[in-house]
Structure formats: C-alpha cells, structure tokens
A and B are shown apart, each in its own frame.
Chain A
Amino acid sequence: MDGMTQLQRQWREHTAYLRKEGYLDDQFEQLQKLQDENSPDFVAEVVSIFFDDSEKLLNNMARALEQKVVDFKQVDAHVHQFKGSSASIGAMRVKNLCIEFRNHCEAQSLEECVRCLRKLQYEYSVLKNQLEYLFRLEQQIRAAGV
C-alpha cells in the first residue's frame, strides 16, 4: 500500500512537473479524462501513435532540409502535421516550437529551420523520455493495483 501511494505521489508530482515546465498542457489532461474502463490504455495508445508519427515526421523533415533545393512547402506540411498531433496530445513545448518552425519555413530561412529542427528533435526526445517514464509509473501503479 505504501509503495502504491508513493508511486501515485511520484506520478502526480511528475505530471505536475511536466505541466509546470510546459512539456504538457491541459489537452493531455483531457486525454487522461477520456481514458476509462472501456479504453484503459487510451493515453498510451495515442501517445505511442504520436511517437511513431513524430519519428517519421522528424526524419522526413531532416531529409527534406538536406535536399539541395529545399522544398519549404513540404517541410511546412510536415511541421503542420507535427504541430497538429502535438497539439492533440498536449505537448505544448513541441507545439510551440512547431509554430516557430513554421514561421521560419514561411520566411524560407534554411539556417533557422535547421536550428529549429535540432531543437525540435531535442525537445521531442526529452518529451519522449518524460512520457515513457510517466507510462512506466502508470504501469507500475496498475500492476500494484492489480
């Protein structure tokens, strides 16, 4: 029981930390609310789809930016998608970066875009780590609960 409460506390604290640092926003909370008996792993499912999508998109972006003649429109489309999905799961920092990225795409400045992509990759990896940690906690809680 003690471990359970500790885990739960840890989970809460971590969630609060993610919120405070701006990694996640309300939307994530909304997602958590959508999770119920009918779909117990709803958040995890969504997030794993997000991860898959994101990696694909990041790779696409990187590849597009490496081209000799950079098609900024295509990059912009990728970033837009990334922004959409990050907004959907409430990944605020990633989303904000995407907005910045899109501005650079519009300005067609390759340098800034590449810099943004790096930042995005970094933020994404941090988010991924954080979320994975959160899910691990969740699983532990569930395991303990069962």
Chain B
Amino acid sequence: MSFLHVVGFGLKVGHLLLMLCCWIVSVISMNWFINGGIMDTKSGMFCDSGKMWLKWWEKISGNNCMIHHHYYQYIGSKRVPKTWWKKLLMTWVVGWLIVSLSIFWYMSLQANEKRKETLQSMCDERARMLQDQFNVSTNHIQAMSILISTFHHGKKPSAIDQRTFARYTERTAFERPLTSGVAYAVRVLHSERAQFEEQQGWTIKRMDTLEQNPVHKDDYAPEALEPSPIKEEYAPVIFAQDIISHIISIDLLSGKEDRKNILRARASGKGVLTAPFRLLKSNRLGVILTYAVYKRDLPSNATPNERKQATDGYIGGVFDVESLVEKLLQQLASKQTILVNVYDTTNLSHPISMYGSNVSADGLQHVSTLNFGDPFRKHEMHCRFKQKPPWPWLAITTSNGILVIAYLVGYIFHATVNRIAKVEDDYDKMMELKKKAEAADVAKSQFLATVSHEIRTPMNGVLGMLHMLMDTDLDVTQQDYVRTAQASGKALVSLINEVLDQAKIESGRLELDAVQFDLRAILDDVLSLFSGKSQEKGVELAVYISDRVPEMLIGDPGRFRQIITNLMGNSIKFTEKGHIFVTVHLVEEVIGSTEVETSSENTLSGFPVTDRCRSWKGFKAFSQEGSTFPLTPPSDSINLIVSVEDTGAGIPSEAQSRVFTPFMQVGPSISRTHGGTGIGLSISKCLVGLMNGEIGFVSLPKTGSTFTFTAVFTNGCSNPNEYKSHKINNQSNSASTEFQGMTALVVDPRPVRAKVSRYHIQRLGISVEVVSDLNQGWSNISSGNGAIDIVLVEQEVWDRDSHLSSLFINNFKKIDRRTPPKLFLLANFISTSRTSATTSGDNTPSIIMKPLRSSMLAASLQRAMGVGSKGNARNRDLPSLRNLLLGRKILIIDDNNVNLKVAAGALKKYGAEVECADSGSKAVSLLKPPHSFDACFMDIQMPEMDGFEATKLIREMEKHGETSVEAYDNVSNWHVPILAMTADVIQATHEECLKCGMDGYVSKPFEAEQLYREVSRFFQSVPNGNL
C-alpha cells in the first residue's frame, strides 16, 4: 500500500509543478500580449505569433486537463502504466522547452525595448538641444533685425556701417552658437538702384550664375560677378560678418533659395529657413535663416502686402549645419555613441540630408522631429546606435537555467518513476514468490499429512499383526525378532504421529479438546511411562504439584500429556545421572515467591541445577510482574506453570537459539546417539501456544536444562469450596479413605525431595512430618505422642550409616505399642536396594520404589499394612481392558449379525454386559435418556439410518432431555460415549465421527490395544459411582 502513497505523492508533486509551469506560462504570455499592444511597429508579426501562442496555450491547457483526467483515473488503479509516464515526461520536456524559449524571447524583447528607450531619450535630448540652440540663434538674429531697423533705418544718417556691423556680429557670435555668419540685405527698388549703387560705391551683383557654376574657394572673386540685371526690386547685401563678407553687394533675390526665403520672410514676418544647400565659397551644407526688417511695427494680423510695403531689408543668418551639429554632438559625447542624421523633410518624398553619413546600420533607429521655428520647413533627426546590439546574455542564462532546472526535475521524476516501477515489479515478483513459497509450504504440509496418514494405516496393520504374532507359539529368537519389529514399528508410528501433528499445526488444523481431566493422574501416568527408563539409567524422577492447583481441570489432557512427555523424554534422553523433576504451580504462586533453589544441596538429587527462574524470564505474563494479578481472569481460568528440570548434558549455547525450530538438533551426532527427529520441542511450543501459554528454557552445558511452560486451563471444579474440602481426594480414593487420619514421618535431609514425598503421601490423606536425619526421627517417634503410623526413610540416609540404621531398626522393634509404625525405605534403583537388602538381612524394611506415584504408594502401603484389597490397588496400577470394561453396560449397534455377535463376544470376554441392536433407529430409542448404558459401539454403515445420523439424533436428545430429566438421578449431563466401529480407518472418517458427536472409533475386528486406547479415554473419567 505504501507504494500507492508514493505514487500518489509523486503524482501530486508532478501536478503541482505542472500547474506552476502553466501559471508561469500564462503570466508571461499575458504580459507579453500587453507589451505587444504597446508595440507600434511590426504589429502584424506580433499578431500572428500571438495567435500561435494562443494555440499553444490551448494545447497545453488541454493537455493539462487530460493529465488531470488521467491523474484522477489512475489514483484509483494500482499501477500507472509506463507509457503514460513517458507521455507525461515528454510533455514536461517540451513544455519547459517552450517556457524557456518564451522567457528568452520575452527577456530579449525587454532588453531591446530598453535599448530603444535609451536611443529615444538620447535622440530626443540631442534634438531638443539642437532645437534650443537654434532657437537661441534665431532669437538673436531677430534681435539683430530690430537692431538694424533701429540703428540703420531709424537713424539718419545710419549709425551702422559695414565695419560696425562686422565687429558687432563678430563679438556677439557666442550668442548665436549655430550660425556661421550674419548678413543684412537692404530692399532696393529698381527706381532707387542707381542712387543706391552710387551711394554704396558698387553695383548690385547677381548670384544665379554663381550658383550654376560653383567656383572653388580659391578662385572666388566677387569682382568677377556680373552685375545684376534689371529687376523690380533688389536685395543687395550691405552688411556682413567678416566670415561671409564676400557676399556684400550680391543681390539675394537673384539666388533661387534666397529669393524664396526672402519673399516668404517678408510675407510672414517670421524667421524663415531655406532648404539646405551648398554655401557659397565654403561649399558646405547650410541653411539660411531670414528675417524681414520692417520700417515700422506691424500688427500680427497684417496682410502679406502690407508687410511687403513696410519691408526695409532682410537679415539672414547662415547656419553651417554640418559643423554645428558635429560641435553639438561632441559636447554630448557619451558612452553610447550614436549615429545622428538630420534631414529636411519639407518634401516628404525627397528628404534632404543635412547632416550625417549614410552608413547603413541595423534597423533600430529613432526619429525626433526638430522645430526650428519655421512652420513651413520640417526637420527630423534620425538616431541610430553605432554598435550592433549586444547578445542578451541575461535572457540566455535565465532561460537556460530554467530549462536545466526543469529538466533536472524531469530527470528526478523520471528516475523516481523508474524506481517506483522497478520496486513495484520487484514487489510483484516477491508477492509471486511468496505465494509460491506459501503454496509450497501448504503442499508440503499436505504432503506430509497425506503421506504420514497413508503410512500410518498400513503400519497399524503391521503392528496389529506383530501383536498377534507375539501370541502365537514362538521360540525365544523369534519372539525377540518380533519384539524388535514391534518396537521399531511403534517408534515409526510415533514418529509419523509427530510429523502429522507438525503438519496439522502448520496447516492450522489442530484444535484442542476441552474435557475435564485430572492433572495429577496424568502426571502419574507420564511418570510411570518413564519410570522404567529412569530406573535403568539410575535417574531420579519426581513430580510435585502445588496444593493450589485444582483437582480437576478442563482442557486437552492428551496434548498436555504430549508436551510433558516430550519434555520429559528429552530430559531422560540427555540425563545420565541426577534427577528429573517436574513441578506444577499456579503462575500466581511463582510470581509471588522469590525462592531460590539453586544451591546444590537444595536440589532433588544433590546435583546442581540451573536456575529455573531464568527459564521464564522472557514470558510476557511475567514481564509486568505484579500487575498481572488483576489482569488474569478471575475464578475459572487457571494459569499453570510447569517446569521440567534435569541434570543432563544441557544444550550448547550455540544451539540454544534453534531449540524450537522443527527438525533442528544440537548436532548430527545427537540424532545418531539419541535418535529422534528434533520435532518434539517445536510441536510442544505450538501446543503451548494453543493453550495460550509460553515456553522457555534455561540450560547450562554439563549442568542441565530446565524447560518451563505456562498453560491456561479452566477450573474443572465448579465449586472452589468443594475442591478444598476434597483436596486430598484423588482418583484412587478407594485407597485414600483407608489412610485417612494417619501420620507419616519422612526422614530426608533434602527439603526439595522431602517436599515431593510429602506431596505424594498427603495425597493419600496422610499427614506428614519431615525430619532431616534418623536420630531426630527417632526422637520424634519416641517423643510419646505416638501418632506416627508410618516412617519413610530415604534410602540415602539409610545407606549412609548401616550401624545407625540397624540401631534404628532395633529401637523400632522395642516400641511397645499396639500397632508399631511401619518402616519403609524410599529407594531409587533396584540394584542399590538389593545390596542394601543383603546387608541388612532380615531386618530390611519394605521398599517403595521411586518415582513416587499416589497409586503405587497406596498399593505399597496397603501391601505392607494389610489394609484394603490388594487386588484393587494392583488393578488400578495395571489397568487392562478387563478392568475398564468389567461390569460396564455396553450397547452394540450393527446391522450385520455376524459382526454383532463377534463384537458382543469380544466385549463380553472383557467382562462387559452387552446388549445388541441391529439398526440405528433402535439405538436411538434405546439411548433415549434416561438409560443405563455406559457406552455404545456403533457401526457406521447401516441401511436406513447410518451411525452418523443415529449419533446426531442421540446427541440431540441428550441436549433436549437435559431439562426433562433434571430430577433423574444426579446425572446432570447426559453424554453417553459413542464409539464408531469402522473397517476403514481413514482420517476423514475419524474427523467425521468427531464432528457428529462420536467420541472415537475402533477398527471393526477389534484390536485389543486400540480398543483399550479408545475406551480408556473416557472410562477413566467416568465417576466411580457409575460402576
């Protein structure tokens, strides 16, 4: 699921970035459009590109929508296809390429714009300056016109002559920065010409020839000029600045440009400019400004004719434009040198260049209009940069930077997506492998279950046959062979059962029973199972169950027994000397107590043992220590803690970690020397787990191991008070009553062992006193209160000092009482007891063999004391089919008469009372409670009503009948044990049997062992009162 999150997150981030980019694009394009509107040139091209942009935008936004769509579609699905990612990536790359290009474009445009603005401002500045200076000049010239009118025409005689004019103009030249020279021409009518020429001393000369044949400066000679032809009026120059003194006497009206100028100036009364033309002599481009000088002040609305009449003369200023502009520009020379052209654009189609080279530059230029005060003439200034525009580095770096960043992000995205895809692929692969592995595991378990079952079925046959073979006439060798074969077969079957258990546990099919059982009886059973082996090895075996553990528990006795058997089996396998000690406590007891029993003297056999507290260190139930008390469910739930302590070889520390792993043993040599599959502990662990418990161990090599497990059961005694009052009561209560009220003295220096002995003796209803040695024991006996009936002496004590023992016996004989106390030895090994017997001769007291079990103890006591019936005790000790079935009333249901007869015969032989019926319906009617049957054997395959159906009906009846027969007897719960009889012993059938309420099954021709196994399961727990 986390992958999905990652993918979702990635999508979100991608989406965010995309949105950001789109936003940027939109902002830029908007900006751009606005700018585009301002542009006044090349607008057509911009319009086109704008449309293109719009198209792009549509595409991108459409794509974006699509992405949205996909995004929301895929967020639900598990995997995002690679192709889609590629598309997104492509879109991303292309999109950002476009974005960066547009940024580049935008930025370079901005730069251009700025450049243009600079140019514009510079151009305008220059134009303005030029204009200003020009205006200053014109103003001054105008002032001069007034000067002339005042001092030349207004005074008689004139106050100005050529010399005065030349000096004045020379000295006021700074006032007219742009003029190269000033001249004054007077208006002379033809009638006055002669007088004028005479007065001046020169003739009026004409100019036009000069214009037609421009002369070189050097050759210029005013004297060569022709006299002016006869005209209506003339305008000969009378005053001129020294620079242009050569034009004195020349009739300006004969010059084409000057004439136009003069006429215009005279008519308008304002300063008038000529078109630029080559100046006389200097041959440079220039313009002439002309002002008319009037005789008197004219009103501003005077007609041209009035003006003409009032004209006295004309003052003209020569503007050498080229040099003047150059001078101006030099004043302004700045960093950015620009090219300036000045044009006279009076005639738009043929602008006349006044200044500047015609060097072609790039397209960027700015045009500023110049106003020189003459409305008729129009002038323009064209400015261009000299250099080409620089590369727009900022735009290039910015756009490239953005592109690089975007591509990096894209790459990261790509890499992430690839990574995710790879991880997803890996995950899928893993899942597949996991599935395969699980399937293989299931298959393995199934295979194991099937195969072991298939092996078990014929093995049962083999075992049965071997059992029968034992009964036939065999010689010793043959019997030995058969016994060996049988033992091997049994080992094989038990192994198969273990494997089957393991397989069942692994496939989770193992379920626990919940039946009432007696824990103490089970432990006695297990003890008896191992007693032979322990005696062989000389290992002491003991069980101690705390008094607080209830008599009856509800749980799965079989599985509990399996665990104990497993642990004890292991212990006995690896223990060569010392003891194996099983203790059962309530968990609460153990938590409460802090007893330390690790000192070597304080153990059962005197060998050092491991600290068993450490074996439950890791238990969860203990980790909270005191706090567990309130947590444990009250009343009914019984939390047991069971320890199996041995003084064996111990588990090497390197192997301790895999103790509970199936098929793991300490080393290959172990399985060779001790056998076994190494599966037992793993099964035990599983079983303990099923019982809501935990298992742990502590082990020290060469010292021993202690395995401890906890298990939760339900209290089988409905009433705890009742349990207390019958605390001593156990299943061999026939014996217990006999010993009620007696007192025993145990002589044992070891407290732990004494505790065990006391536990077992107390179970018989005998109160116990413990002393540590014989002397003290003797003083106890002879102290006079005389209540001691039995004296039990630990063999160890007895053998230690034979003298003391014999003394003790002698003393014993001297006791003068009606019933002297009986003396017993608690012996461990047959061999030692024998030796002691030989040494002590006749005085040997009775020997009770360990391990102590209540039934065995009772039997020994009875034998020695002569109370009760011997047989009873022995029967109990060695239960057999006859014992179990004697007097039981059993119903047999089979449609086959022969089978019926045979089964009845077999059961009768074991002492049961048998009743037969041949159909399921009869069984149902016979077993309708109340009835007196103890058990029912039922055939499964029957016509009309088969065994399963009949059983179901019977169980149904029992359930419903409960209320109606409440008053009947004290039987509160009707549950007659029903065993199926079937020819094919298949697991499935067995399970079906259990499912419909049967308690077990037996194969059809009865096999004694199997029959016993099945029958003992429930007849043991049937109360004696039913007998």
Q: CA–CA, A31 to B902, complex, Å?
A: 7
Q: How far apart are the CA atoms of A49 and B902 in the complex, in Å?
A: 10
Chain A CB within 10 Å — which of B464, B908, B983, B1005 has the most?
B1005
Closest to A38 in B: B908
Question: Given that A26-B465, A29-B468 are known contacts, is A85 also in contact with B1004, CB under 8 Å in the complex?
Answer: no
List, in ascending order, chain B residues with CB within 8 A of A81's CB. Answer: 895-896
Instruction: Please report which residues of chain A, range 83-108, place their CB below 8 angstroms from some CB of chain B when the two chains form the complex.
Output: 83-90
Collect the chain A residues with CB atoms within 8 Å of residue B894's CB.
84
Q: How many residues of B contact A (CB 8 A)?
A: 23
Contacting pair B905 A46 (CB below 8 A) = yes
State which of B465, B902, B908, B941 has its C-beta within 8 Å of the C-beta of A88. Answer: B902
Instruction: Give the residues from 804 to 845 in chain B that come closer than 8 angstroms, CB to CB, to chain A.
Output: none
Contacts of A52 in B (CB 8 A): 897
Assess whether B898 is in contact with A46, with CB atoms less than 8 Å apart: yes
A34 to B905, CA, bound (A): 6
**Cβ proximity bits B750-781 to A, threshold 8 Å, 1 near / 0 not:** 00000000000000000000000000000000
Contact partner of B898 (CB less than 8 A), chosen from A33, A35, A84, is A84
Taking the complex as formed, is A66 at the interface, i.e. its CB lies under 8 A from any CB of chain B? Answer: no
Is A39 a contact of B465 with CB atoms below 8 Å?
no
How many Å lie between the Cα of A52 and that of B901 in the bound state?
13
For residue B909, CB closer than 8 A to chain A, the reply is: yes
Pairwise interchain contact A88-B1005, C-beta atoms closer than 8 A: yes
**Nearest CB on A from B1003, distance (A):** 10
User: In chain A, residues 24-45, which have Cβ atoms closer than 8 Å to a Cβ of chain B?
Assistant: 26-27, 29-31, 33-36, 38-39, 42, 45
Partner of B983, one of A35, A38, A87, A89: A87
Q: Is A77 an interface residue (CB 8 A)?
A: yes
Q: What is the bound-complex CA distance between A42 and B465, given in angstroms?
A: 23
Contact B898 A89 (CB under 8 A): yes
Q: Mark B76-107, 1 if CB is under 8 A from A, else 0.
A: 00000000000000000000000000000000
**In the complex, are the beta carbons of A88 and B909 less than 8 A apart?**
no
Chain B 883-925 against A: per-residue CB contact (8 Å), 1 yes, 0 no? 0000000000011111101110110110000000000000000
Chain B binding surface, main DSSP class: helix
- Residues on B with beta carbons closer than 8 Å to the beta carbon of A50: 898
Tell me the dominant secondary structure on chain A's binding face.
helix
Say yes or no for A80: interface residue by CB 8 A criterion. Answer: yes
B896 CB contact (under 8 Å) in A26, A30, A36, A88: A88
Residue of A with least CB distance to B468: A26
Distance A35 CA – B909 CA, assembled complex (angstroms)? 8
Contacts of B896 in A (CB 8 A): 53, 81, 84-85, 88
- Kindly report which residue of chain A lies nearest to residue B909, judged by CB atoms: A34
B897 in contact with A85 (CB, 8 Å): yes
CA of A35 to CA of B895, assembled, Å: 23
Could you mark each residue 53-85 of chain A with 1 if its beta carbon is under 8 Å from any beta carbon of chain B, else 0?
100000000000000000000000100110111
What B residues does A87 contact at CB under 8 A? 899, 983, 1004-1005
Q: Does B943 contact A (CB under 8 A)?
A: yes
Is the beta-carbon distance between B943 and A88 smaller than 8 angstroms?
no
Cβ 8 A contact of B897, one of A27, A49, A90: A49
Residues in B whose Cβ lies below 8 Å from that of A90: 1005
| Contact of A85 with B898 in the complex, beta carbons under 8 Å | yes
Report the minimum CB–CB distance from A90 to chain B (whole Å): 7
Shortest C-beta distance, B473 to chain A (Å), equals 11
Q: Give residues 449-472 of B contacting A (CB, 8 Å).
A: 464-465, 468
Which of B895, B908, B941, B1005 lies in contact with A27, CB distance below 8 A?
A: B1005
On whether A46 and B908 interact (CB within 8 A), knowing A29-B468, A30-B1005, the answer reads: no
Take A84-B898, A84-B899, A88-B898 as given contacts and tell me if A39 and B905 are in contact as well, using a CB distance cutoff of 8 Å.
yes
B1004 to chain A, nearest CB (A): 6
C-alpha gap A86/B906 in the complex (Å): 16
The proximity string for A residues 99-123 relative to B, scoring 1 for CB distances below 8 Å and 0 otherwise, is 0000000000000000000000000
Q: Which residue of A lies closest to B899 (CB)?
A: A88
Please, how many angstroms separate the alpha-carbon atoms of A88 and B906 in the complex?
11
A80→B902 CA distance, assembly (Å):
17
Report the minimum CB–CB distance from B985 to chain A (whole Å). Answer: 13
Report yes or no: B983 in contact with A39, Cβ–Cβ below 8 A: no
Q: Is the CB of A34 within 8 A of B906?
A: yes
Contacting residues, chain B, for A46 (C-beta < 8 A): 898, 901-902, 905
List of B residues within 8 angstroms of A80 by Cβ: 941
Cα distance A86–B939 when bound, in Å? 15
Q: Cβ of A84 and Cβ of B1004 under 8 Å apart?
A: yes
- Of the listed residues A26, A33, A35, A77, the one surrounded by the most CB atoms of chain B closer than 10 A to its CB is A26
User: A109 vs B435: C-alpha distance in the bound complex, in angstroms?
Assistant: 45
Instruction: Provide the residues of chain A in CB contact with B1005, threshold 8 Å.
Output: 27, 30, 87-88, 90
Residues of B within 8 A of A88 (CB): 896, 898-899, 901-903, 1004-1005
Q: Tell me, in angstroms, the Cα distance from A33 to B468 when the chains sit together.
A: 12
Complex Cα–Cα for A86 and B1005 (A): 10
- Min Cβ gap B898→A in Å is 4
Give the contacting residue for B943; candidates A34, A38, A77; CB below 8 A: A77
Give 5 new A-B contacts, CB below 8 A, not counting A77-B943, A84-B894, A88-B896.
Answer: A27-B1005, A31-B902, A31-B905, A46-B901, A46-B905
What are 8 A-B contacts with C-beta separation under 8 Å?
A31-B902, A45-B901, A46-B898, A46-B901, A84-B896, A84-B898, A85-B898, A87-B1005
